[in-house]
Amino acid sequence: MMADRHDELLRLLRSRADWRAEELAERLEVSTRTILRDLNRLRDRGFEVSAMSGPGGGVHLEPSSVMVTSQLAGDDVVALVLSVAIAQSMPWMPFASGANDALAKIEASLPFGRARQLQDLMMRILIGKPSSASMRREGRIDPLLARVFETAFSQQHLLGFGYHDRQGNRTQRVAEPHGLLVRAPMWYVIAWDTNADEQRLFRADRISSPHILADQFVPRPHELLRDIAPDASAHFVR
Amino acid sequence: MMADRHDELLRLLRSRADWRAEELAERLEVSTRTILRDLNRLRDRGFEVSAMSGPGGGVHLEPSSVMVTSQLAGDDVVALVLSVAIAQSMPWMPFASGANDALAKIEASLPFGRARQLQDLMMRILIGKPSSASMRREGRIDPLLARVFETAFSQQHLLGFGYHDRQGNRTQRVAEPHGLLVRAPMWYVIAWDTNADEQRLFRADRISSPHILADQFVPRPHELLRDIAPDASAHFVR
DNA sequence: TTATTCATGACAGAAGTTGTCAGTCATTGT
DNA sequence: ACAATGACTGACAACTTCTGTCATGAATAA
């Protein structure tokens, strides 16, 4: 959404005194024109954005400018919790323990219904030990996959994709993405394979051309996940 | 713009306990359908909007769902930002991109002074590529270290510790912890070694019995960090 | 039951957003 | 004076999103 970009833009402007419009454009992955338009909208909203032309010039936000009141959306909280969980799957990172406090505060202030909903999602996510050394050399993960998985996972849609196994056989799959197993830096889809009619783990970097199917699935009770947890010496997020 | 109407709508909802969708529609000069859509959008954004059907029913905004972010302390935010940065140093994690939006919202609603202070800390943290495979087998990191480092780092105290290098020589060090380099799951103290009078990287798992000294140090301009960044193919947190 | 009120889906038309391109104006260094 | 840089603006087509209308359902109160 556009509002998100404005928040992001404000954050950048506050984080450093001077920016060139082009830099901002690169950061936010939009054209320079759009940035200039956004800056005007911020001005309309009452922020004091000054700018200097020419070499050494740039855009600058007056620190005194107004404050924004924003809200964390449901997805935002999921993303935060997951990120923190991943970071903490590594031992003894500085500042990592503080993140729990932060999350606790955030969760505490969530309305009940939303907290419940969040909990349901979290119950489907497992954090395992960081993956083994050899995994480092394996193939890249399809940039599309993350996004496609996100929606299929959280909206309970069937997921179609191509999969190549250890032997290099490429097959076409349709699966119900019930869970997510993270073994940094790799991750797996915990799924029910509707072709083979059995539970399966699909490794992210072996998935190609993922797409969401129209059909939805019924979230199974946690049998699937319970089976996997001890195997991968994994634990639920919270 | 639509965001303006949302603000107006929130103002109305806050100004009176109960509204009928149609009333709101009249006030804002849009159709009832649009109001209902707007209410859903507010719900997506994390506001608790309850509604009752039937005569005497109406729409109601839970007062509790107003501000989430204001209670987060500075350290909390540092922890969050760092965790997200670490999580994102891994490729194509699902939900990871959403975390940026969340952080943007949090930072946007931080008071300026605090935002500035946060930025200063962030400028001293580098995220590098995940560390190499062989590192996995190395020794554990002293459980105390994370906490000790946190305070020394953020309060600019000298750090004393024992260090054993590759050859196994164990030496006693006193250093100024200017920066933090994360190469998950390992991390390094970017420091000025006051014994040798030179810039050094200290690997976390080689540090033993760390302790904070009374003396403080002056945070150097970012020369130190700049030198290291390209070496470790690292980037600043934000 | 009936009237009221929120809720959702579909669809066409209205409105807004974006990138590209062409060009202006201000500033800096040579 | 001139070239280079970089903020700004306008116009337009492609695209996306929003809006109103209509139909329908579901919950609630009298």
Print pLDDT tens along chain A (238 aa): 788 899 899 988 888 889 999 999 999 999 999 999 999 999 888 888 999 988 888 999 987 666 666 677 777 888 888 888 888 876 578 887 788 888 877 877 777 767 777 787 888 888 887 776 556 556 678 878 888 898 888 888 889 999 998 888 999 999 999 999 988 778 899 999 998 888 889 999 899 989 888 788 887 756 666 666 556 566 676 5
Amino acid at position A171, single letter = T
| Residue found under tokens 């031992």 | A91
8 Å CB contact of B102 and A91: no
- Nearest to B68, CA basis, from A80, A82, A170, A212: A80
Token couple for A171? 């097959």
Residue A4 CA to nucleotide D9 C1', Å? Answer: 25
Number of neighbouring beta carbons within 10 Å of residue B32 = 14
* Omega cis (within 30) before A177: no
Question: Residue A34 CB closer than 7 angstroms to strand C?
Answer: yes
Instruction: Give CA–CA dist B15/B29, Å, rounded.
Output: 18
Question: Residue B54 CB closer than 7 angstroms to strand D?
Answer: yes
Instruction: Give CA–CA dist B192/B204, Å, rounded.
Output: 15
Number of neighbouring beta carbons within 10 Å of residue B123 = 17
> CB < 7 Å to strand D — which of 156-175 in chain A?
none
Residue B89 CA to nucleotide C18 C1', Å? Answer: 30
Give the three-state DSSP class for A55: coil
Q: What mean pLDDT is reported for chain B? A: 83
8 Å CB contact of B101 and A79: yes
- Could you read off the pLDDT of B29-45 as tens digits, one per residue? 999 999 999 999 888 88
8 Å CB contact of A79 and B92: no
Q: State how far residue A168 is from chain B, nearest Cα, in angstroms.
A: 22
Question: Residue A44 CB closer than 7 angstroms to strand D?
Answer: no
Strand C bases within 7 angstroms of protein beta carbons: 3-10, 16-21, 25-29
Token couple for B53? 């059907």
Instruction: Give CA–CA dist A76/B71, Å, rounded.
Output: 17
Instruction: Give CA–CA dist B32/B23, Å, rounded.
Output: 9
